């Protein structure tokens, strides 16, 4: 299943989820309606029998089951409560993945941490991010949780976080930890994170009715004794209020029960796929299998101590709370089933995790690097298949790439104070001393002498930096840049733009760096704003497609007309509809074209990227700079494209 198919399935799951929860809400409304009928009948019987105009006592009749006005009131009230509560919970999570991580006690890992276990975790996540082409997610640790567990959360790849428990950090070997992180990256790439947040918000909306009832009953505990002394008539009022509270409690938890069933069913279906993807990523079933076996061998297993974890139980790598109702609420399949799915020879024997002292004997910093594979010839179909996924080859290349990055530049990428200076350095013109002097003077005037001094300390590393290292450094610096205040971002972007235009032109790399940075930082600032598809027709975006293909065709020394024609042949548009090759590169037009294509449908993006890949590889020689431009184009379309094979 490729990236676009996974995204389409995620949208279908969202539609099915809404339909299932609509049924749960209807059930809640039905329970509330019949509860209201019983309550009104109870109140009628308490008020006594009525007399007619002649004074005769009329018998008490059974309440009518069909009361349209009452049904309308109950329906509107229930929908209002559920809707407002769901929106409230969604607004809590709209800040992004870090809001979820911090809600369960997560601590953001300092990229400069000297703790060996934390360094090992950061290295594993960095390698996965580089290999898949997604922005580096923030990494969190649940310090107070001795169990083995982990989760990924966020509304998009731009605001994603990966969190692990202290138990996972201390009790898993590197290959086991890599398997767990690979499982979580599968959820990131398959679009599961946004569904998880929607699921949590909807369940909370149904639960809030039961919580209101429980609150009413709790508040009556202290009022009962005092009211009996103050007013004899207040006893009946308290009974009525208690009945309302009990009714709300029952009604709310009826809906909550079925909501939990839906949550569990939706979650269990995805865990086997994520396990299989993790094994595919690492090509090491013993890593993921070992982690699952250690969960089974640990007394506490994967159960978390915080009660808040149950609300997001479907986020986690393994079952984080004790499932009631015979496992009906279990958000994950049984451990033995998951292990046998990746290791059919499993005999049912779990592994007791080693003590921390034993784990300290293992190298916590880095794994043995796989030998660098020879650079393959890039095939369009294989390039497209690599979008939004991980392969052992990509992971091995990412390990090599990560190991080759200068430690001083890595340290700068991790620092909120130094990361902007690092990006200034990536834009320095090393082939023209006059241009570079003007750039350095510009940095001194805009960012100050201290920034210039820091840049001088990075100069030797920057001078020897290969072009294939530049955008990976940008990827790794994103968590630090996301912490900058909005007041600091504006001068930062203005300085970047001034550095780019110092020589009077914008290179494809400079455009790629600015576009990637603006896209990811903007998305992380407002992650809840999902792009609404506005274009479903190729004809409606033909001019934008032509601009993208023309820019790529001019980005190298190949025959531009031949490259443009190779890409155009992959589109369901005639040459007349698509338009001819543009005469020159116009990056301002490209910027506008990408903004338009960002709100196009998935099939349009898929065919566009296929055409773009054919343009880039038309001469069989792919340059780093033009491929990074292709990555920037893909990122603007919210499609993670892995780096160029070594």
Size of the chain, expressed as the number of residues it contains: 646
Distances (CA, A) of 315 to 190, 309, 319, 631: 13, 9, 9, 29
Q: Kindly state the tokens that stand for 378.
A: 């890039």
- Measured between alpha carbons, how far is 529 from 638 in angstroms, rounded to an integer? 13
Q: Which of 160, 5, 138, 617 is nearest to 414 (CA)?
A: 138
Q: Kindly state the tokens that stand for 33.
A: 């309606």
Torsion from C-alpha of 360, 364, 370, 376, nearest 10 degrees: 160
Within 10 Å of residue 16's Cβ, how many Cβ atoms? 12
Label the pairing between strands 150-153 and 161-165.
antiparallel
3-state secondary structure of 364: coil
- Measured between alpha carbons, how far is 633 from 598 in angstroms, rounded to an integer? 10
Of all residues in the chain, what percent are helix, strand and coil, respectively (each to 5)? 65, 5, 30
Alpha helix (H) ranges present in 343-469?
356-359, 380-385, 392-404, 407-414, 419-426, 433-447, 449-463
- CA 119 to mean position of chain CA atoms: 22
3-state secondary structure of 360: coil
Half-sphere exposure for 446 (CA within 13 Å, toward CB): 20
Label the pairing between strands 161-165 and 107-108.
unpaired
Annotated active-site residue 468? The verdict is no
- Measured between alpha carbons, how far is 21 from 262 in angstroms, rounded to an integer? 8
Q: Kindly state the tokens that stand for 260.
A: 């939990």
Backbone angles phi, psi at 151, to 5 degrees: -160, 160
The single-letter DSSP state of residue 138 is E
Instruction: Name the active-site residue from 126, 184, 271, 397.
Output: 184
- Measured between alpha carbons, how far is 361 from 38 in angstroms, rounded to an integer? 67
Torsion from C-alpha of 353, 355, 357, 362, nearest 10 degrees: 0
Helices (H) and strands (E) in the chain, counts: 26, 4
Contact (Cβ atoms closer than 8 angstroms) between residue 29 and residue 75: yes
Give catalytic residues, as residue numbers: 184
């Amino acid at each position: 299943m490729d990236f676009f198919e996974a995204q389409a399935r995620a949208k279908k799951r969202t539609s099915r989820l809404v339909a299932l929860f609509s049924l749960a809400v209807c059930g809640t409304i039905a329970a509330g309606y019949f509860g209201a009928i019983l309550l009104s009948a109870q109140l009628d019987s308490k008020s006594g029998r009525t007399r007619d105009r002649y004074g005769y006592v009329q018998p008490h009749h059974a309440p009518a089951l069909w009361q349209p006005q009452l049904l309308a009131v109950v329906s509107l009230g229930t929908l209002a409560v559920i809707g407002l509560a769901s929106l409230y919970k969604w607004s809590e999570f709209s800040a992004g993945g870090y809001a979820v991580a911090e809600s369960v006690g997560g601590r953001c890992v300092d990229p400069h941490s000297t703790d060996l276990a934390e360094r090992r975790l950061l290295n594993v996540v960095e390698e996965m991010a580089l290999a898949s082409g997604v922005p580096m997610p923030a990494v969190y640790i649940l310090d107070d949780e001795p169990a083995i567990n982990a989760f990924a959360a966020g509304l998009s790849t731009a605001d994603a976080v990966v969190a692990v428990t202290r138990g996972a950090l201390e009790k898993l070997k590197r290959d086991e930890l890599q398997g767990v992180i690979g499982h979580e990256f599968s959820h990131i790439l398959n679009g599961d994170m946004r569904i998880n947040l929607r699921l949590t918000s909807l369940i909370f909306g149904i639960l809030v009715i039961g919580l209101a009832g429980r609150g009413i009953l709790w508040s009556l505990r202290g009022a009962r004794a005092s009211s009996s002394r103050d007013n004899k008539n207040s006893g009946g009022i308290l009974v009525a209020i208690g009945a309302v509270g009990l009714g709300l409690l029952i009604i709310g938890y009826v809906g909550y029960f079925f909501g939990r069933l839906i949550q569990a069913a939706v979650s269990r279906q995805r865990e086997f796929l994520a396990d299989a993807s993790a094994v595919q990523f690492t090509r090491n079933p013993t890593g993921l299998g070992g982690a699952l076996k250690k969960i089974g061998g640990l007394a506490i297993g994967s159960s978390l101590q915080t009660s808040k974890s149950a609300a997001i139980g479907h986020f986690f790598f393994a079952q984080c709370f004790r499932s009631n109702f015979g496992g009906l609420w279990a958000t994950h399949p049984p451990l033995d089933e998951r292990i046998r799915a990746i290791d059919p020879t499993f005999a049912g024997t779990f592994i007791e995790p080693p003590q921390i002292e034993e784990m300290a004997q293992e190298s916590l910093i880095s794994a043995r690097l796989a030998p660098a594979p020879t650079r393959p010839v890039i095939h369009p179909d294989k390039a497209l298949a690599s979008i939004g996924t991980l392969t052992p080859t990509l992971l091995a290349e990412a390990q090599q790439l990560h190991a080759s990055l200068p430690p001083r530049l890595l340290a700068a990428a991790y620092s909120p104070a130094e990361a902007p200076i690092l990006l200034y350095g990536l834009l320095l013109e090393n082939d023209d001393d006059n241009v570079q002097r003007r750039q350095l003077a510009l940095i001194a005037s805009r960012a100050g002498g201290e920034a210039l001094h820091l840049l001088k300390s990075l100069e030797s590393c920057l001078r020897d930096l290969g072009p294939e290292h530049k955008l990976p450094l940008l990827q790794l610096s994103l968590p630090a840049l996301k912490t900058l205040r909005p007041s600091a971002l504006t001068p930062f972007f203005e300085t970047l733009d001034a550095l780019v235009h110092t020589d009077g032109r914008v290179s494809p790399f400079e455009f790629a760096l600015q576009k990637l940075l603006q896209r990811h930082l903007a998305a992380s600032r407002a992650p809840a704003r999902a792009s609404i598809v506005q274009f479903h027709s190729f004809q409606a975006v033909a001019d934008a497609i032509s601009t993208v293909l023309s820019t790529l065709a001019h980005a190298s020394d190949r025959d531009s007309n031949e490259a443009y024609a190779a890409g155009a042949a992959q589109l369901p548009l005639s040459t007349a509809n698509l338009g001819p090759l543009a005469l020159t590169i116009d990056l301002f037009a490209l910027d506008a074209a990408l903004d338009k294509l960002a709100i196009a449908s998935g099939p349009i993006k898929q065919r566009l990227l296929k055409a773009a890949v054919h343009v880039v590889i038309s001469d069989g020689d792919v340059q780093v700079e033009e491929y990074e431009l292709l990555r920037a184009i893909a990122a603007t379309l919210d499609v993670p494209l892995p780096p160029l094979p070594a």
